[in-house]
């Protein structure tokens, strides 16, 4: 029997990161602040961010962005995520046709 790759934990960490970012909104959180607000380790916060980005891209939700000045935050511009997804899908289709 194959072992799952931590999907429930990724969802849990993603929920904690999402709540922390929503509470800080419209401001962002730097990594140290996010770790403290979500009460996670740095690696757990990174897994949560990765999970939120994957789920957000798949379901066309508000994307999480990172800026040097603001840290992690939800994008105010809905075009940010869709154009990024669109360009990455164009690259992948150009690399592997069919």
Higher pLDDT, 90 or 73: 73
Instruction: Report in angstroms the alpha-carbon separations of 52 from 27, 56, 93.
Output: 18, 6, 24
Between helix 7-24 and helix 31-38 the angle, nearest 10°, is: 110
Those residues with Cβ within 8 angstroms of residue 76's Cβ, 6 or more apart along the chain or in another chain: 26
Let me know: does 16 contact 38? Beta carbons within 8 Å: yes
Please determine, for residue 29, whether its predicted confidence score (pLDDT) is greater than 50. yes
| pTM of the complete model | 0.70
- Please, which residues bridge with residue 66 across strands? 72
pLDDT tens for 35-89 read: 999 999 999 999 999 999 999 888 888 899 999 999 999 988 766 554 444 444 4
Residues 18, 16: Cα–Cα separation, whole Å: 5
Give residue limits of the domains in the chain: 7-93
The pLDDT value given to residue 12:
95
Is the CATH number of domain 7-93 3.20.20.70? no
């Amino acid at each position: 029997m194959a072992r799952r790759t931590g999907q429930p934990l990724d969802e849990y960490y993603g929920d904690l990161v999402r709540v922390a970012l929503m509470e800080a909104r419209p401001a962002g959180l730097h990594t140290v602040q996010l770790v403290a607000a979500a009460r996670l380790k740095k690696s757990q916060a990174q897994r949560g961010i990765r999970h939120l980005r994957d789920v957000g891209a798949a379901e066309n939700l508000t994307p999480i962005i990172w800026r040097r000045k603001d840290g992690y935050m939800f994008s105010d511009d809905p075009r940010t995520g869709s154009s990024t997804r669109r360009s990455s899908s164009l690259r992948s289709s150009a690399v592997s046709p069919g």
